A and B are shown apart, each in its own frame.
Chain A
């Protein structure tokens, strides 16, 4: 049963700390998306990669967020330093290039910054 996995599932941290979220896309998928979901803003695209290359990260606050794909089985999203306004659920999704319409989402990382 192929699925996207994300770790950690929950993270509570203090303001100013570094947070790293990890995602394992479905094997064979060549596109990875990072989203943030809040009650106020809904689902926001932060960044996405095709064949491990970043295509668009315009949705991310550049001064504190960074996204990478060190290899085809791992995508990371880092926040440094974290702020209370970063509290949200962060989703990773994967899919195929030329089929962005069908994205397979992971279970999300619920982040709380105190």
Chain B
């Protein structure tokens, strides 16, 4: 079993829908939780970054961490075709620890 599990999708939703992307993990030492976005034929870029439990909001994006359930989520409100990309979750036990990556979920927003 991998340390970080993420459904590869693809997940296809109509424009304007609320999108929920999720990862589960097994290592209770993880403290830092990241979401990276990767457009086709590009490198990943950091989208959201959360420390420990709780919610963090940035525009249309909300990152949620539930450490008791070892479950993290990324919500996208009012989804746009430009949100179509692969979303990778990543986690670490500390700020100078290497990242453990999920497989990535391919998201398609249909106009």
Contact = CB atoms under 8 A, between A and B. Distances in A.
Interface string B37-55: 0000111111001000000
Interface centre among B42, B44, B46, B92, by most chain A C-beta atoms within 10 angstroms, is: B44
A97 B96 CA distance: 6
Contact of A103 (B41, B96, B99): B99
A49 interface: no
Contacts of B103: 42
A102 B96 CA distance: 10
Contacts of B75: none
A4 B45 CA distance: 12
Contacts of A97: 96
A17 B97 CA distance: 34
A101 B43 contact: no
A27 interface: no
Contact of B44 (A99, A101, A105): A105
Contact of A45 (B32, B44, B98, B104): B98
Given A45-B98, A48-B98, A107-B42, A101 B92 contact: yes
Interface of A: 4, 33, 42-43, 45, 48, 56, 91, 93, 97-108
Given A101-B49, A103-B99, 7 more contacts: A42-B101, A43-B104, A99-B96, A101-B95, A102-B49, A105-B44, A108-B42
